[in-house]
Chain A
Amino acid sequence: MNSIILLSVLGLGNLFLGFRRSNRLLLPVMMLILGLVLTVNFIDWNEGTQPFFNGMLTIDNFSVAFTGILLLTALVLVPFSQKYVLDGEANLAEYYSLLLFSLVGAIMLVSYNHLLMLFLGIEILSVAMYVLAGSDKRNLRSNEAALKYFLMGAFFTGVLLFGMALVYGATGTFELSQISFAVQNPVNASLTPMLYIGMLMMLLGIGFKVSAAPFHFWTPDVYEGTPTFFTAFMSTIVKTAGFAAFLKLLVQAFPAASAQGIWLPTLTAMCVLTLLIGNVGAVAQTSLKRMLAYSSISHAGYLLIALVAFNGQLEGASANAILFYSLAYSVATVSAFGVLKLVADARHREDYDGFNGLAKTNPLLAFALTVSMLSLAGIPLTGGFFGKFFVFSAAVENGYIGLVVFAVVMSMVSIYYYLRPIMALYMRDADDATAEAVPVTAFQSGALLVLALLTVLLGVLPGLVAGVL
């Protein structure tokens, strides 16, 4: 709760800093804010379940842990916006404030206890993202991305809202535990179809946000057009918050066997499709940014496995697996997008060949990108390996062996496309035009180093995070 209030107030305060017409203060202030909120967030750790606003939001270990991931991601991501500072971007204060506000939405998504809060959270998060997707105003691609994201997003928000209305109609409540009760003890059996249609529509709505197939079509185009800094935000924070919200919805509102009988096959089908499209789509890409877009689809697929394997408790194996996976994925993805942004800013290209010979000119960038690719591919010694390991073992434990076999085959495919940037970095020589070192500031080097170390730490001592819930 503290984090929501702090972020809102400081976000507003941050807007006023924009009047100074000097960007130099903004980045340190932003990092200070995020660091402060991250610390404050953990005050609520192990304080039990605390309801707020008449129980519309609840803060518990689940929400504190996920909020921690969201804030940490934002904190390590911010240094990569330094080019905006140096270029004297006129609207930087607004961008930063929008990021802080969208974080508020994301935090609501991980701590809601009431469907209205779910909707508000998604809207707060998304509206900010629509704007930021189009923040590169003179770039046609950025405009296209914003428009696409907005139109599709608005449509799926409508679907989500419609679903909520139907669920409300069938159960008479927006509160998660009461919905769960009403699903198990239906007052009027003729309303059951309406309830399940409503539930499925909500699944579609959230499925769109986390770019699960078949609602993923916007992802590659929007990711590509959006300025890289905000793409990173989109593919980490939106996804983490979306999956936490997904899990809460399924576990707290629809755990009943009858409801599971409907959402489980739906999610399983989505999961298989997402894994297939994400991984096979990524193979064909030649641009790192588009590859990362498809990779983000495929990771949504792995996270869906954890949802499918849920065992009825909010703080059980599934939640732990999602928590660990989101953390490992976010850390690796921020690092990948960070390097991509730095290289793309300097070399003006985003394809694999743009990274040729980077190991010679910028060993640190090459190292950071390598660690991140290995982590996304799930190679041991990185957090990504244990993320996949926990997700898969949660699924095997609940008997989804076929699904896991399919996912393992898909991760074998993924090794192919994650290795390609590594090959460019270390095994190919730069073309003459790209032989200069990419400028990196101390802030950014520090952030990349922290991210790489964090990835290795998660891969060597996973016990630090595994099983905390």
Chain B
Amino acid sequence: MLTVLLLLWPVAAALLLHFFKGGAARVAAFGAALVEFALAVFAAVTFNANHTGQFAYDLNWIPSAGIRFAVGMDGLSLSLVLLTALLVPIILLSAFRRKFENESVFYALVLFMQTGLIGVFTAQDAFLFYFMWEVALIPIYFLAGVWGGVNRARITFKFFLYTIVGSLFMLAGFVYLYFQTGPSLDGLSAHNAALASFYSLNLPVETQLWLFWLIFAAFAVKMPIFPFHTWQPDTYTEAPAPATMLLAGIMLKMGIYGCMRWLIPVVPAGTDYWQNLVIILAIIGIIYGAIIAIRQQDVKRLIAYSSLSHVGLMIAGVFSLTQLGMQGASIQMLAHGINVVGMFFIADAIERRTGTRNIADLGGLTRKAPVLTVCFLVLLLGTVALPLTNGFVGEFLLLAGVYQFNAWMGAVAGITIILGAVYLLRMFQRVMLGPDSSFTATFTDLTGAELALLVPLIVLVFWIGLFPNFFLHLSEGSVMNILGEVVKR
């Protein structure tokens, strides 16, 4: 029941938001997101990491087709629900600084999207999963398209087409799987789409080989994995900062989560066959994203490419099909969400003050804004995966997982840490150090509100970095179950 509450509260709040105008809408939205966060924390506190399918709720949604509104959480779902519930209020808070037209609609869309995201992470029925997948897409399309930069129409159009075509392939795969299942529990329909039924299908290997790509198409675009990434840098750059944070912080985790929950255990033989290819693509993405990031002049674009590079490592870890890799991915999803949101927030803070995101135009911010420098450095080092920060735990486990799978691949993927340090420290050096420029002459430090927003993120950077066990324990059971499904067949 708690899951349903987590799902319904944001959408209810989004609808109610229309009765608020301007500043009141922000506060109301932020309040609603805090309530949601409290609910998620409550779920985490009462959660028993040894059991799956907790807080489950199951309702006959479309009886004649055997489609159920079935939701529930295991450790993996819960950690992503927590991430979503944590980041949404922070993202809302970050939007306070900017003036948006039709504020209540803007904040309503963010909350609406939260329902879709949590739905994706908790759905236990294939069609509910697909439904929520698209529910999360529609608001972000409008957020990026209406409030974005100059080229927003063209770029969000590309983004929307890309993702929806990918997810239609996934839907086709689900429909195929659906027709392979047995009757629904109540016998009203000849088939059902429950996750458990999909897990117990035992499809022939030849079928799994093509089915893998149908389902993977949606996840590949969303994550994105090289070569399906071409929408990503443009969209991240053109979208308004809050939308970029939603995209990079939470939405790309939908793809990784989807692989772990709806792809690998459903078509294990197909995964086994394509495993090498996917990991190679992921590693190409790691190197490619990093090399392009080194050449970027635009701060936001640089972070976008760095995100491409980091997500590549997570994909490689997941597809190594080792416990280390998968657990690394689940903790790195949290770490990346926290770091990337923080980085985009700082990029946005700099842009708001100077009016530019161009690295060449910036410089010498350290002297004017020491607090900002410290925050930036912590988040940056977290992204570079320095020990004691959250990035280290995730990347270490991921690399260990990939290394276990294939030592050479692990070695090549390890370059990510070096390259990551290169482009991030280069950016830090050019933006924060060096001589002042005409743009940065009147730069002011972070305000109290901005700092209040960054402090929880920074606390988490160290918390996950120093005491990762809580989060690792959370995902352990889920990862073992997923791997169990793979090994079983």
Binding site for B on A (CB under 8 A): 320, 359-360, 363, 374, 379-381, 385-386, 390, 392-393, 396-397, 405, 408, 411-412, 415-416, 419, 423, 426-428, 461-463, 466-467
Beta-carbon contact of B64 and A463 below 8 Å: yes
The residues of B that contact A359 with a CB separation of less than 8 Å are 146
Pick from B154-162, B205-213, B295-303 the stretch touching chain A. Answer: B154-162
Distance in Å from the Cβ of A372 to the closest Cβ of chain B? 14
Contact of B65 among A415, A428, A466 (CB under 8 A): A466
Beta-carbon contact of B175 and A415 below 8 Å: no
Contact of B134 among A379, A412, A428 (CB under 8 A): A379
Contact of A396 among B133, B153, B161, B175 (CB under 8 A): B175
Distance in Å from the Cβ of A449 to the closest Cβ of chain B? 13
The residues of A that contact B134 with a CB separation of less than 8 Å are 379-381, 385
Instruction: Closest A residue to B164 by CB, please name it.
Output: A415
Beta-carbon contact of B131 and A380 below 8 Å: yes
Question: Considering residues A405, A415, A427, which has the most beta carbons from chain B within 10 angstroms of its beta carbon?
Answer: A427
Distance in Å from the Cβ of A363 to the closest Cβ of chain B? 8
Contact of A426 among B61, B135, B142, B178 (CB under 8 A): B142
Residue contacts A-B, CB under 8 angstroms, 20 given: A359-B146, A363-B102, A379-B138, A380-B131, A380-B133, A385-B134, A390-B65, A392-B175, A393-B179, A396-B175, A412-B165, A415-B161, A423-B145, A427-B156, A428-B153, A462-B62, A463-B60, A463-B63, A466-B65, A467-B63
Beta-carbon contact of B64 and A320 below 8 Å: yes
Instruction: Closest A residue to B176 by CB, please name it.
Output: A396
Q: B16 interface residue, CB < 8 Å from A? A: no
Q: In the bound complex, how far is the Cα of B160 from the Cα of A374, in angstroms?
A: 12
Distance in Å from the Cβ of A391 to the closest Cβ of chain B? 12
Cβ-closest 7 pairs across A and B: A467-B64, A427-B153, A380-B134, A463-B62, A426-B146, A380-B131, A423-B153
Q: B152 interface residue, CB < 8 Å from A? A: yes
Distance in Å from the Cβ of A279 to the closest Cβ of chain B? 14
Given contacts A412-B168, A415-B164, 17 further A-B contacts (CB under 8 A): A379-B134, A381-B138, A386-B62, A396-B175, A397-B179, A408-B168, A411-B168, A412-B165, A419-B157, A419-B161, A423-B145, A423-B157, A427-B153, A461-B61, A463-B60, A463-B64, A467-B64
The residues of A that contact B63 with a CB separation of less than 8 Å are 463, 467
Distance in Å from the Cβ of A69 to the closest Cβ of chain B? 18
Contact of B172 among A360, A374, A408, A426 (CB under 8 A): A408
Distance in Å from the Cβ of A348 to the closest Cβ of chain B? 24
Question: Considering residues A380, A392, A411, which has the most beta carbons from chain B within 10 angstroms of its beta carbon?
Answer: A380
The residues of B that contact A396 with a CB separation of less than 8 Å are 175-176, 179
Q: In the bound complex, how far is the Cα of B152 from the Cα of A385, in angstroms?
A: 26
Distance in Å from the Cβ of A328 to the closest Cβ of chain B? 14
The residues of A that contact B145 with a CB separation of less than 8 Å are 423, 426-427
Contact of A405 among B65, B156, B172 (CB under 8 A): B172
Give the A-B pair count, Cβ closer than 8 A: 70
Distance in Å from the Cβ of A16 to the closest Cβ of chain B? 45
Distance in Å from the Cβ of A418 to the closest Cβ of chain B? 11
Distance in Å from the Cβ of B179 to the closest Cβ of chain A? 6
Beta-carbon contact of B64 and A427 below 8 Å: no
Q: In the bound complex, how far is the Cα of B102 from the Cα of A462, in angstroms?
A: 31
Beta-carbon contact of A380 and B64 below 8 Å: no
The residues of A that contact B164 with a CB separation of less than 8 Å are 379, 412, 415
Contact of A463 among B61, B146, B161 (CB under 8 A): B61
Instruction: Closest B residue to A462 by CB, please name it.
Output: B62
Q: In the bound complex, how far is the Cα of B101 from the Cα of A386, in angstroms?
A: 33
Q: B96 interface residue, CB < 8 Å from A? A: no
Distance in Å from the Cβ of B344 to the closest Cβ of chain A? 22
Q: B443 interface residue, CB < 8 Å from A? A: no
Q: In the bound complex, how far is the Cα of B101 from the Cα of A374, in angstroms?
A: 23
Q: In the bound complex, how far is the Cα of B178 from the Cα of A142, in angstroms?
A: 49
Q: In the bound complex, how far is the Cα of B152 from the Cα of A427, in angstroms?
A: 7
For window 56-70 of B, CB contacts with A under 8 Å fall at 60-65
Distance in Å from the Cβ of A441 to the closest Cβ of chain B? 22
The residues of B that contact A426 with a CB separation of less than 8 Å are 142, 145-146
Q: In the bound complex, how far is the Cα of B161 from the Cα of A219, in angstroms?
A: 28
Distance in Å from the Cβ of B61 to the closest Cβ of chain A? 6
Q: B130 interface residue, CB < 8 Å from A? A: yes
Beta-carbon contact of B64 and A381 below 8 Å: no
Question: Considering residues A385, A396, A419, which has the most beta carbons from chain B within 10 angstroms of its beta carbon?
Answer: A419
The residues of A that contact B160 with a CB separation of less than 8 Å are 415, 419
Q: In the bound complex, how far is the Cα of B63 from the Cα of A396, in angstroms?
A: 19
Q: In the bound complex, how far is the Cα of B167 from the Cα of A415, in angstroms?
A: 13
For window 111-135 of B, CB contacts with A under 8 Å fall at 130-131, 133-135
Q: In the bound complex, how far is the Cα of B172 from the Cα of A256, in angstroms?
A: 32
Question: Considering residues A320, A360, A466, which has the most beta carbons from chain B within 10 angstroms of its beta carbon?
Answer: A466
Beta-carbon contact of B153 and A393 below 8 Å: no
Question: Considering residues A379, A411, A428, which has the most beta carbons from chain B within 10 angstroms of its beta carbon?
Answer: A379
Distance in Å from the Cβ of A61 to the closest Cβ of chain B? 15
Instruction: Closest B residue to A459 by CB, please name it.
Output: B131
Q: In the bound complex, how far is the Cα of B161 from the Cα of A423, in angstroms?
A: 13
Contact with A along B150-194 (1 / 0, CB 8 A): 001100110011001100100010011011000000000000000
The residues of A that contact B179 with a CB separation of less than 8 Å are 393, 396-397
Distance in Å from the Cβ of B128 to the closest Cβ of chain A? 10
Question: Considering residues B61, B65, B138, which has the most beta carbons from chain A within 10 angstroms of its beta carbon?
Answer: B65
Q: In the bound complex, how far is the Cα of B60 from the Cα of A412, in angstroms?
A: 30
Distance in Å from the Cβ of A145 to the closest Cβ of chain B? 33
Contact of A427 among B101, B146, B161, B165 (CB under 8 A): B146
Contact of B135 among A360, A381, A411, A463 (CB under 8 A): A381
Are A393 and B65 also in contact (CB < 8 A) when A380-B130, A381-B135, A411-B168 are? yes
Q: In the bound complex, how far is the Cα of B174 from the Cα of A392, in angstroms?
A: 13
Q: In the bound complex, how far is the Cα of B132 from the Cα of A381, in angstroms?
A: 9
Instruction: Closest A residue to B127 by CB, please name it.
Output: A389
The residues of A that contact B152 with a CB separation of less than 8 Å are 427
Beta-carbon contact of A380 and B135 below 8 Å: yes
Instruction: Closest A residue to B142 by CB, please name it.
Output: A426
Q: In the bound complex, how far is the Cα of B168 from the Cα of A416, in angstroms?
A: 14
The residues of A that contact B178 with a CB separation of less than 8 Å are 393
Distance in Å from the Cβ of A366 to the closest Cβ of chain B? 10
Beta-carbon contact of B175 and A393 below 8 Å: yes
Contact of B62 among A392, A415, A466 (CB under 8 A): A466
The residues of A that contact B102 with a CB separation of less than 8 Å are 363
Distance in Å from the Cβ of A323 to the closest Cβ of chain B? 12
Distance in Å from the Cβ of B138 to the closest Cβ of chain A? 7
Q: In the bound complex, how far is the Cα of B101 from the Cα of A423, in angstroms?
A: 17
The residues of A that contact B133 with a CB separation of less than 8 Å are 380
Q: In the bound complex, how far is the Cα of B218 from the Cα of A412, in angstroms?
A: 14
Q: In the bound complex, how far is the Cα of B152 from the Cα of A40, in angstroms?
A: 50
Beta-carbon contact of A381 and B131 below 8 Å: yes
Q: In the bound complex, how far is the Cα of B130 from the Cα of A381, in angstroms?
A: 11
Q: In the bound complex, how far is the Cα of B130 from the Cα of A428, in angstroms?
A: 30
Q: In the bound complex, how far is the Cα of B380 from the Cα of A79, in angstroms?
A: 59
